[in-house]
Amino acid sequence: MQKVIVAVVQAGSFVFDTSRTMERLKRHCEEAADQGARLVVFPEAFLGGYPKGIDFGARIGSRSLEGRDDFRRYWEAAIEIPGTEISKLGDIAARYHVNLVSGLIERAGGTLYCSVVFVAPDGRLQGKHRKLMPTASERLVWGCGDGSTMPTVKTDFGILGAAICWENYMPLFRTAMYGKGVNIWCAPTVDDRDSWQSTMRHVALEGRCFVLSACQYLLRSQCPENYYPIQGGSPETVLIKGGSVIISPLGEVLAGPLRDAEGLLTAEVDMDDVVRGKFDLDVVGHYARPDVFSLSVDEVAKIPVNYSQSADSMTRLRDVRDGQGAGLSSSRPTVGSQDDQDEKLPAKVKATENVDR
């Protein structure tokens, strides 16, 4: 193994303004690369925004028109995967030659997900994780992920995985990720409580892994004018106060926690410390009791609607796609195979199907 410099970014989004936030992300990647970082982790919902303090006009039994319009704005700021913004992330990662891990709001049809993407130094999208269980009112605007997006990503210095905010309180999810060999645990969050620090130290100690927790630092001034958080409307109001931190496999705080400011934390980590830590605790190895406890993980994608087609139907669909059916022109909508679709995607996003699990 080797020593490597890692970085976490503490910054807030420009809520509902993805293009401005992308520029902020680029600036922080440049700063981290200048300091020698090879891995840069951004907070939860960094692209797309975390709508702290607003309620989307929802009460039990009713939703307001103003709240529906807030959801429209949120949906428009969200990101499709693959898509233009993912290509931009690939360009940034390649320009600064960093492994880039960022929280974002993903748009899939009419549903939003709180997700994390992993982008390689050559610009490839290596993986995506959707938050399994949004917390409390987050469930009003985010869908739940399933077991098909719990990847680990191999780099030349370690194995990355991600747990978003309160996923870190899900012991079975942590165990599933430990079982995949994660040794750099990325924890994008908006939890700025003092108690979050003990959670991060616990995960580091339990998993014998490095923990990189990136939290937002968000001011009311970074939100649109017609945005009314419960915390108040003064531009100086702090909506999320930070608390980003880097922790070793033995629970030592290597950098941070950073509070009440935007900033960058870096640390040089010795990946051999992972092995040193496993000497007396490997919760999915010599410290496990599979004769007493076991965990089954379902990684099959749960698709709401499945369509079955006969061979003849598929032939007709291919004819439609190719414009060869009777009375059909090539300008009609087409249905193609995944390979056909992949050929139309930018090269940087084709590698999604090669995610290490």
DSSP per position, 70-89: HHHHHHHHSB-SSSHHHHHH
Active-site residue (options: 52, 88, 128, 131): 131
Q: Which of 81, 93, 155 is nearest to 119 (CA)?
A: 93
Which residue is listed with tokens 């942590």? 174
Q: Do the strands 111-119 and 125-130 form a parallel or antiparallel pair, or are they unpaired?
A: antiparallel
Q: Which of 114, 165, 186, 209 is catalytic?
A: 165
Using an 8 Å Cβ cutoff, are 269 and 252 in contact?
A: no
Cα–Cα distance, 90 to 307 (Å, whole number) = 33
- Is 165 catalytic? The answer is yes
The helix/strand/coil state of 169 is: helix
State the catalytic residue, choosing from 29, 44, 52, 114. 44
Active site residue 44: yes
Q: Please state the three-class secondary structure of 18-70 as a single string.
A: HHHHHHHHHHHHHHHHHCCCCEEECCCCCECCCCCCCCCCEECCEECHHHHHH
- Contact indicator for 192, 10 with CB cutoff of 8 Å: no
**Can you name the residues that pair with 247 across neighbouring β-strands?**
211, 253
Cα–Cα nearest to 266, from 25, 45, 46, 29: 29
Residue 165: CA count within 13 A, CB half-sphere: 26
User: Is residue 29 annotated as part of the catalytic site, yes or no?
Assistant: no
CB 142 within 8 A of CB 131: yes
Identify the CA nearest to 220 among candidates 245, 238, 247, 199. 238
User: What is the rounded CA–CA span in Å between residue 297 and residue 303?
Assistant: 17
Active site residues: 44, 131, 165
